[in-house]
Structure 1
């Protein structure tokens, strides 16, 4: 490729006169780059790239992911300028096009490569934090791919990958909660039902990830360093899906045959969403309160829940 991310440092702030030129060229580069990449890079059973050509394509794909992530980081250009509009393009359009192009190239098999996996989830977390509204614009196929990779990353052995997936979930859920609170569509139909990569209808992503995240926090192995980030994803999910959350809590309580454990769990669940004057807002103070509540909740119940 003629351009690498080393030539585009994320800390560089470009002058207005260069912005339009940059993004016009990035659009062209995205098109030519993806056209030159195959629909699938060959991977051997030993999870190594089979040929020198595959290695080069792998590097090109990483460079593409890194460039898109740098664009999303908002450190690359001066966003106060009007030069992007003058040249008929904007960053969100470029990133949306880039994601649409690279999605078919990112398979779960490819995500077994640590560096490429990190680059992909870095892009995804940046994208969803900066442009969460783009999710509702994705095709059903692209949307299902994003959700499938997020689910994969949430259970990854790399703590940094899991952290980026949790930040992505926070971005999606908080965006939907704020938008619907303002009478807007938010994630639209994606929040209620969507088709997976096999064409089967699945429950909405917020329902799906609320279930998945609660199961993860209560029953699975993970680093305690993830609890704070998980809390910031869990709070907006609960606020978006309060009915489902209450049903999940009731199911947990009903499964406890030991009266002492049942009472402890009931009290802990009440404290989780009521202690420290927790409110239904998504401001910094409320996130801090919920992080503290979740830490206390897990200390209280996780031990006996995992032994039952």
Structure 2
């Protein structure tokens, strides 16, 4: 079915959902009951995405094929995202009949790859003057149709062979594993390995043999296509399809997550051919890693200016090295070290890569290199060729005697942005076992980054990069540092926040994007403060001196003192920033109420003013967070028998605020539980204030009957015979009484 047939798309998706529901309940039907139906649906879907004569793509009702949409390079939306649900359904249907879908896909892909090789050979001959040019236009049209066939075949293959595994251990789909196990009795493992390794010998035909495992055969075809692309890119890159290139590396990445160097312990049963080809210490494991890294290397050189393809390619590399058992084979590959050399060279064939791709490349290089054992030549090589060039470049540029005079030149700004992206890559690539080493490696550059923020405070892109670097340190390294190292991080973070505050306080800009830029900056700072704060909750090192130093909450509170004055009403209208800000405030209230009581007067006033505004101005989620925070602070006053001080007086003020919000204003009843607990806790903390508020309200009533109704309602809400206690039973009773109270009298209270 073509993507532009929107009239029937929704109905088609609904039908697929129905079939999936039936498949999920297939155990309630006779064995194999749905196989014929799954086969038919799979075949029809495949036909709808293949060009004639094998398929029906773009065919009109009169049987003529429309040529307008064959060029897939102009597609605005990514098919694998646009049709994700549909492809997921087809993948599940294909796995229901693997004995049909896997050989069929292999056969069609083998045919299309052979056709691609033939077309590329013709184009090569034309380029060298060997062939005539009279049919070149026709050949290019055929090539475009062929590319779209390959694109859809790769998407379908990826969704059949593997499932999305976000947040879970990637596993080979049970249906695929079960099928391969069932077939293994008549599979020749050596022929299967030969089919795998010969896939990159593109001058030889495909090894088509029933003794070859069907899963490995399909994987081999994708590897053959990747190799055809790789070899053709040196002379024929201009006729290759970036979209197909993206689909190839996406399919390989989706496949490798569950298959490459798989762990036997994750499976109750495992296929011998698959395990022999791709398992731990397998003959094919290192070979596949080498081939994938060769593909990564070529893609990043040839397609460096194609951002989406380069990004998909670097995502493939990150997935190759995301586990130690895969990272170690990667560091044995020559392609890894060639990438490292290109990455640190000046100039380099990778210079056209975008900053985010360069950061991800550094991340992948560091992830792999972090798994190299200490005191080995490879470890020294990793430090010399990957880490030290970054540090040297920082020192050479930022500490040069003329840096301040040339800092604002475009070329220098580009160098700074490039170095910050590399630093971010090092940080994001940090593995737990290297967190301390890499933090100390990055620390001098973090300090330099504070200076960069002062110099480039008028350049939002560099400011944002600096803030992102600090956020990544807090997220990827901080929890694994010693207390002494954490203190260094706190110090440099405070220096950063202070620098930002100094260069931005009172600043007025007429630029239309200025407010949005400040929103992004403050969002990153909120994220930084939250991550610093989390250090007290998630510490993974046993540090004997953990109690001898200040806590991260102290740093966060000081950070808030810097950030809060920069906040304003218009900035808090950005939902994400508003949510992050009040979430942080609530966490501090709940986990460290003792710190609030000790705040400096100006910060304390700012803090409490934020809570008061949050009660009414920014929606129910923020209101709930503020109510929860007040409950905790009032409880702290009661538990510590606090009878004086700024916090105690603030709770007296909030007793009146919450009293009016809950009882006398329009109020979201979905917040009843949080509001009840906050009001009850504040009443327990300031009983005299509550009594005064009730009396003032009663005395303000001009109608005696209403006054009488209110007096009776309040006497039932807080009976004098029952003591006010912060126990669960009392809180539950108060919630019930408050609901009754509001039902009976809130209407005329709000009207008044």
TM-score after normalising by structure 2: 0.35
Q: Residues 248 and 89 from structure 1, CA distance in 2 versus in 1: closer, same or farther, beyond 3 angstroms? A: closer
Superposed, 1:176-191 pairs within 5 Å as 176-180=637-641, 185=642, 188-191=644-647
Show the counterpart of 1:197.
none
d(CA) in 2 for partners of 1:82, 1:18: 6
- Residues 62, 119 of structure 1: 8 Å contact kept: yes
Residue 60 in 1 paired to residue 524 in 2? no
Matched residue SS, 2:588:
helix
Q: Residues 160 and 6 from structure 1, CA distance in 2 versus in 1: closer, same or farther, beyond 3 angstroms? A: farther
Residue 28 in 1 paired to residue 492 in 2? yes
Deviations along 1:141-186, whole A, 9 cap, x unmatched?
Answer: 1111112222211111411111111112112211112111xxxx47
Stretches of structure 2 lacking an aligned partner (at least 5 in a row): 1-465
Show the counterpart of 1:283.
727
Residue 169 in 1 paired to residue 630 in 2? yes
Deviations along 1:216-242, whole A, 9 cap, x unmatched?
Answer: 112212211112111111112111211
Paired residues in the alignment total 284
- Residues 5, 66 of structure 1: 8 Å contact kept: yes
- Residues 596, 647 of structure 2: 8 Å contact kept: no
CA RMSD of aligned residues (A): 3.1
Show the counterpart of 1:195.
none
Alpha-carbon offset, residue 31 of structure 1: 1.7
Show the counterpart of 1:92.
553
Show the counterpart of 2:697.
252
Residue 77 in 1 paired to residue 543 in 2? no
d(CA) in 2 for partners of 1:170, 1:261: 31
Specify which of 17, 36, 39 is matched with residue 505 of structure 2. 39
Alpha-carbon offset, residue 30 of structure 1: 3.0
d(CA) in 2 for partners of 1:164, 1:302: 23
Show the counterpart of 1:297.
741
Show the counterpart of 2:583.
122
Deviations along 1:192-213, whole A, 9 cap, x unmatched?
Answer: 6xxxxxxxxxxx3222211111
- Residues 218, 305 of structure 1: 8 Å contact kept: yes
Superposed, 1:190-229 pairs within 5 Å as 190-191=646-647, 204-229=649-674
d(CA) in 2 for partners of 1:300, 1:280: 23
Stretches of structure 1 lacking an aligned partner (at least 5 in a row): 193-203
Specify which of 613, 617, 621 is matched with residue 160 of structure 1. 621
Deviations along 1:35-80, whole A, 9 cap, x unmatched?
Answer: 1341246476xxxx7346x644432321221232344457851389
Residue 50 in 1 paired to residue 512 in 2? yes
Q: Which has the higher contact order (CA 8 A, sep 6+)?
A: 1
d(CA) in 1 for partners of 2:730, 2:535: 26
**Range with greater deviation from structure 2 (210-219 or 122-131):** 210-219
Residue 230 in 1 paired to residue 683 in 2? no
- Residues 272, 293 of structure 1: 8 Å contact kept: yes
d(CA) in 1 for partners of 2:702, 2:687: 25
Specify which of 579, 589, 594 is matched with residue 133 of structure 1. 594
Q: Residues 144 and 75 from structure 1, CA distance in 2 versus in 1: closer, same or farther, beyond 3 angstroms? A: closer
Q: Residues 65 and 281 from structure 1, CA distance in 2 versus in 1: closer, same or farther, beyond 3 angstroms? A: same
d(CA) in 2 for partners of 1:190, 1:13: 33
Q: Residues 78 and 298 from structure 1, CA distance in 2 versus in 1: closer, same or farther, beyond 3 angstroms? A: same
Matched residue SS, 1:282:
coil
**Range with greater deviation from structure 2 (252-261 or 117-126):** 252-261
Q: Residues 283 and 13 from structure 1, CA distance in 2 versus in 1: closer, same or farther, beyond 3 angstroms? A: farther
Residue 148 in 1 paired to residue 576 in 2? no
TM-score after normalising by structure 1: 0.79
